[in-house]
Structure 1
């Protein structure tokens, strides 16, 4: 009973604070597994696409809003490093910052092509040298702290890597963010309309693999549960929605992760069906 009440209250508080359009997830009622994943794909598919770099609004412009320093909007925060970086510099011939593809752009040959390569849900501000160190490494638990010793922004980070395995562990503050971004990408891109079919897997990929997979699924599930959605992540989702007109469902409804990929959340959700959730509409619960 305590677990049921805790889940109910957390869902209620979250639904009241997030700016989810009325009825956005209504068609997911009663679904789980591949059926839920397929329905979420239909909801978030065909978003408004922006170019990587343009004289008009581009991904630089959007990231200056989504990844800005909450204390000073003239800076953006490095996703893996936590470094404060001058937002106005952009790349600046290697002296500024750049745009990290959390789902590595080589995994499925996304590149910087309009669409999967410029989807801002997958892009984060990063300092150039830390971004280079992450490369296309798999996400997993690691042991060697990454210390950035080159480029415009330098110093100790709270991210980790490995001298033997092709892996990267982001700082604790963004581990859940990483997981939910990858869950989004594996749902948004299902091989339709000539797009790649992205999937999460357990096996680690080599650095030269262009297969449309990313790892490690079990670790991402752990990070999702250990680092819950926070207000910064919710606000970022709202800003991207104002441009792309699609949302990351796993920020709006973190319980979708357990319903699709399993994990501890799936056990909690047994006691809280979507039929019951629909009955909460009168007190603010949004599907």
Structure 2
């Protein structure tokens, strides 16, 4: 047994005494971008295998509690000829040996440490320790010293990355005497400028976006002229962008004595509506002595075969072009019901556990790409609030929210206490992957497409969890989204048992959780912005996935019977004119004041309003859903709705 212990000790001593690994350089904060941050490790001997080591990042803030927030297992990785191993963000140059998501490294007061062990030894929230510690660096960006974390790691100092008050990027660099200095970053190289100097290769293109049919000149440039022909391969395929989408050589040769060459790729202009795609230029193996200054360069290839819908955007709404795909008997159970009984009957339909499906939160990206597709360009989505289009490809990543879109909960997650189930919600398994649900499944409200919309990422953040009425959209918004969100909220509070819509703006207290305001505002938005073709198409697509519909889009007058002017009255969806012909028309609100909305199921025609003496006071045409302005005295009026050779009379009351 003694000999075994001696053998283990000898191996460890040999492994770490003659190949000690330290934190050589750290850049935790890069102004205006978090894509260029990096951690550089250095071994005493070159080409050192990092098996058995783990990199751990510790959070020194009050909320972090001097515990781990990230651990990276280094098994299988090796330092280079200079003993360097670079770990960093997607825009670090030269290309890191191991890529991190942007903004992984916190600014401080925090710590970076190397341990003997594995990533599973340091689950998130593990308190810092000196056990099996090889090296550690405490760092900050003008933050007070965290003496508690320093003590836990056995350190005597904390290095300020901003100590020079330099507005440009600087890094913390280890010197030969084991002290540190702050100066211009040198990722991928020894801090004193010594060692093997690699010849860097850079990929450039004139543009970052091209159209189908364009020629793309890809320029490859080395730092210094090559002393012999430099030949390597690249790939440019990526997901749906395949070899049939381009022509041209992907073999690259920079001739002796030169430092640049251009390869031209021709993008095929086909007739397929395949959506915008991304070409990715990626290095294959490159010869010894060279390094990649960048890699995986992405170019947007814009598809010119997009389609335009036969209906309009919410800013230019059309009505009657998109018909409901609801089964003919979908709303029959609501016939003749009122008040709470009516609301419960709606819930029984839209939350039926025997029929209704729930998809993962990851699937919502695909659902919204279809349901919120812009009528003007099938390769783009229409954004709530900002009332603009954005390419489907520009879905927000982990932290980048500029010029991207993401998933907006019209009923804020924090107010509804919607939860995640990571094993399910993180997986996008398509329309065939689903679970059943019920009225109490608030976790499923998190991924209910009727309550989610494509939204500008920054505007989504600005809205936060404000109540509607507190939040009225960005400056310049024309309000084409207001009725949409009202009906989305009305659906959710009917669909899920615990959610409520109330008057006013309840404060953020425990008693106000699951309450959203303002009901009066949402009723007004619903009445002034009736459902259009865009919303009906959206309802149809979501129904195809979830097997439930938003009744307040199909039957917008239902809102008045549950929250509005017709509370207490029985709701009816039938209006017989003739045994052989059924015309369905609804008017709401009724009683009315300034306006009334006529809902005509796919019909077009004319409407006339007469006073009690039979005098015509209003004449106008209608199309599916029509808002009729009323500038009339209080009293009883008759409305004649004419379609083809048939007319229907309805009574309306003006308050």
**TM-score bracket, shorter-length normalisation:** 0.7 to 0.9
DSSP-derived class of the 1:74 partner: strand
Which protein is richer in helix relative to its size?
1
Displacement after TM superposition at 1:208 (Å)? 6.6
Q: TM-score, normalised by structure 2?
A: 0.34
Question: Which segment drifts farther, 243-252 or 94-103?
Answer: 94-103
For residues 28-39 of structure 1, what are the structure 2 equivalents within 5 Å? 28-39=334-345
Whether the aligned pair in 2 keeps the contact of 1:77 and 1:85 (CA below 8 Å) is yes
Q: TM-score, normalised by structure 1?
A: 0.75
Name the counterpart of 1:62: 367
Inter-CA distance 39–24: structure 2 relative to 1 (3 Å threshold): same
Q: Return the alpha-carbon distance in structure 2 between the equivalents of residues 229 and 214 of structure 1.
A: 22
Whether the aligned pair in 1 keeps the contact of 2:410 and 2:485 (CA below 8 Å) is yes
Inter-CA distance 135–208: structure 2 relative to 1 (3 Å threshold): farther
1:97 matched to 2:97? The reply is no
Name the counterpart of 2:280: none
Displacement after TM superposition at 1:275 (Å)? 7.6
Q: Return the alpha-carbon distance in structure 1 between the equivalents of residues 506 and 453 of structure 2.
A: 22
DSSP-derived class of the 1:172 partner: coil
Larger Rg: 2
Higher relative contact order (CA 8 A, sep 6+): 1
DSSP-derived class of the 2:416 partner: coil
Name the counterpart of 1:167: none
The correspondence for 1:200, drawn from 501, 515, 526, is 501
Inter-CA distance 280–41: structure 2 relative to 1 (3 Å threshold): farther
Inter-CA distance 258–82: structure 2 relative to 1 (3 Å threshold): same
1:108 matched to 2:410? The reply is no
Aligned length: 238
1:283 matched to 2:582? The reply is yes
Inter-CA distance 283–106: structure 2 relative to 1 (3 Å threshold): same
Name the counterpart of 2:292: none
Whether the aligned pair in 1 keeps the contact of 2:338 and 2:571 (CA below 8 Å) is no
Displacement after TM superposition at 1:88 (Å)? 1.8
For residues 128-277 of structure 1, what are the structure 2 equivalents within 5 Å? 128-140=457-469, 146=474, 157-158=476-477, 171-190=478-497, 197-206=498-507, 211-263=513-565, 266=566, 274=572, 276-277=574-575
The correspondence for 1:48, drawn from 347, 357, 376, is 357
Displacement after TM superposition at 1:251 (Å)? 0.4
Inter-CA distance 29–109: structure 2 relative to 1 (3 Å threshold): same
Question: Which segment drifts farther, 16-25 or 26-35?
Answer: 16-25
Which protein is richer in strand relative to its size?
2
Whether the aligned pair in 2 keeps the contact of 1:68 and 1:77 (CA below 8 Å) is yes
Name the counterpart of 1:121: 450
DSSP-derived class of the 2:552 partner: helix
Q: Return the alpha-carbon distance in structure 2 between the equivalents of residues 275 and 77 of structure 1.
A: 32
Q: Return the alpha-carbon distance in structure 1 between the equivalents of residues 573 and 544 of structure 2.
A: 30
DSSP-derived class of the 1:51 partner: coil
Displacement after TM superposition at 1:104 (Å)? 0.7
Whether the aligned pair in 2 keeps the contact of 1:79 and 1:125 (CA below 8 Å) is yes
CA deviation vs aligned residue, 1:132-165 (integer Å, no higher than 9, x gap): 000010001668x735xxxxxxxxx41xxxxxxx
Name the counterpart of 1:164: none
Q: Return the alpha-carbon distance in structure 2 between the equivalents of residues 275 and 134 of structure 1.
A: 37
Q: Return the alpha-carbon distance in structure 2 between the equivalents of residues 102 and 142 of structure 1.
A: 11
Displacement after TM superposition at 1:112 (Å)? 4.5
Displacement after TM superposition at 1:178 (Å)? 1.0
DSSP-derived class of the 2:415 partner: coil
Q: Return the alpha-carbon distance in structure 1 between the equivalents of residues 419 and 474 of structure 2.
A: 25
Displacement after TM superposition at 1:198 (Å)? 0.6
Unaligned stretches of 5+ residues in structure 1: 1-12, 148-156, 159-170, 191-196
Displacement after TM superposition at 1:107 (Å)? 1.2
Q: Return the alpha-carbon distance in structure 2 between the equivalents of residues 280 and 172 of structure 1.
A: 40
Name the counterpart of 2:650: none
Displacement after TM superposition at 1:111 (Å)? 3.9
Displacement after TM superposition at 1:250 (Å)? 0.4
Inter-CA distance 85–63: structure 2 relative to 1 (3 Å threshold): same
CA deviation vs aligned residue, 1:38-59 (integer Å, no higher than 9, x gap): 0000000032111112xxxx11
